[in-house]
Amino acid sequence: MRPFEYRRATKPSDISAADRIIAGGTNILDLMKLEVEVPAQIIDINPLGMTEISEIDGGLRIGAMVRNTDCAADARVRRDYPLLARAILAGASPQLRNRATTGGNLCQRTRCSYFMQPEARCNKRDPGTGCDALHGVNRSHAIFGASENCIATYPGDMAVALLALGASVEILGRTGTRSVPIGDFHRLPEHQPAKDNLLEPGELISSVTLPPAMGGAQIYRKVRDRSSFAFALVSVAAAITIADGRIRHAALAFGSVAHKPWQDPAVETALVGQEPSLKLFAQAADLLVGKAKAQSGNAFKIPLLRRALIAVLSEATNTEA
């Protein structure tokens, strides 16, 4: 780990463009120990509060410093947004979730092993050096939206649920506050894989807001190599409502398949207004994976995602095989 300067913020404006933020520290500290991240200045935002979950316009505002454990345990979250609670609980371990924050979780970095090994070539870590993952061990990598510069995935669970729930991210900068739909917050690698999301230097996530509860069946399905404490191979977040025997509303998001939580409006459109059936689900899943493109070592993700989506839709609609 390189020596660095450490300060504690007392107000948001203490944060300068040269600062790196530390919240729970469960990701950035690991990366600093590996020297994947080598910030010269660290600013600790724990003194800033932002630990409340409050009700707004029929929805919820979750402060950026709300710990994952507290968010998943909140009665309103569990009642109205069970998808969110389930996604959080599917991630990491109790110890990590006790530290991890809502803001930090959104900004967690990829688990691509080449990114995590400083001596490997990685455009995300060291722009312009190349991508060793492209022809290397890429079992966990992207099947959607990758570029020749980067095939890494966004690995988190919580953000996938937030995407299906239509959340927004509130960002506090020197010039004021802005709110972006979570689907726009993370970005695809394109020519700039080093940039995970829209945050500009010196900006801070202050909270995440959730629209009014949509009800219906909410499912988070995380497919993984072991039963717990493993990142998703693929994950599916679904919120489905049925009225008069037809799907009235379908919100779907997919994790660990792209550089950002993935969404495909065409799949949702194909479901809405239809009677639930295995045939319909298979069509929707085919539509989704029809656009997927495997890397050298992860072709399995395509059938896996297809089947996981079918399973989730069947479970959400009580459709028996």
Ligand X SMILES: Cc1cc2nc3c(=O)[nH]c(=O)nc-3n(C[C@H](O)[C@H](O)[C@H](O)COP(=O)(O)OP(=O)(O)OC[C@H]3O[C@@H](n4cnc5c(N)ncnc54)[C@H](O)[C@@H]3O)c2cc1C
Residues that bind other proteins (CB under 8 A): 1-3, 34-35, 111, 113-114, 117, 119-120, 132, 135-137, 139, 221, 223-230, 233, 278, 282, 298, 300-301, 303-304, 307-308, 310-311, 321
Does 157 participate in binding ligand X (rule CB under 6 A)?
yes
The partner in contact with residue 310, picked from ligand X, other proteins, none with C-beta cut-offs of 5 to 8 angstroms by kind, is: other proteins
* CA of residue 217 relative to chain centroid, distance: 20
The partner in contact with residue 48, picked from other proteins, ligand X, none with C-beta cut-offs of 5 to 8 angstroms by kind, is: none
Q: Which has the closest alpha carbon to 284: 263, 309, 301, 311? A: 309
The partner in contact with residue 205, picked from other proteins, ligand X, none with C-beta cut-offs of 5 to 8 angstroms by kind, is: ligand X
Rounded to whole angstroms, the Cα distance separating 232 from 197 reads 20
Choice between 186 and 301, CB closer to other proteins:
301
Q: Applying CB under 6 A, which of residues 9, 24, 152, 233 lies at the interface with ligand X?
A: 24
Tell me the three state secondary structure of residue 118.
coil
Does 187 participate in binding ligand X (rule CB under 6 A)?
no
**Orientation of helix 301-317 relative to helix 278-289, angle to 10°:** 150
Rounded to whole angstroms, the Cα distance separating 162 from 209 reads 9
The partner in contact with residue 204, picked from other proteins, ligand X, none with C-beta cut-offs of 5 to 8 angstroms by kind, is: ligand X
Shortest spacing between CB 266 and ligand X, in angstroms: 26
Does 310 participate in binding ligand X (rule CB under 6 A)?
no
The 10 Å Cβ neighbour count of residue 133 is: 28
Does 27 participate in binding ligand X (rule CB under 6 A)?
yes
Tell me the three state secondary structure of residue 290.
coil
Shortest spacing between CB 36 and ligand X, in angstroms: 11
The partner in contact with residue 157, picked from other proteins, ligand X, none with C-beta cut-offs of 5 to 8 angstroms by kind, is: ligand X
Beta-sheet strand order (sheet of 20-22)? 5-8, 41-44, 20-22
Does 235 participate in binding ligand X (rule CB under 6 A)?
no
Does 43 participate in binding ligand X (rule CB under 6 A)?
no
Beta carbons within 8 Å of 177's beta carbon, 6+ residues apart: 170, 171, 206
Q: What is the pairing mode between strands 41-44 and 5-8?
A: parallel
Does 234 participate in binding ligand X (rule CB under 6 A)?
no
Name the phi and psi angles at 259, rounded to 5: -70, -10
- Residue 215 bridge partners (DSSP): none
Q: Do 181 and 166 form a contact (C-beta atoms < 8 A)?
A: yes
Which residues in the 73-92 window bind ligand X by CB under 6 A?
A: 91-92
Residues that bind ligand X (CB under 6 A): 20-28, 30, 45, 64, 91-92, 96, 99-101, 103-105, 107-108, 156-158, 199, 204-205, 231
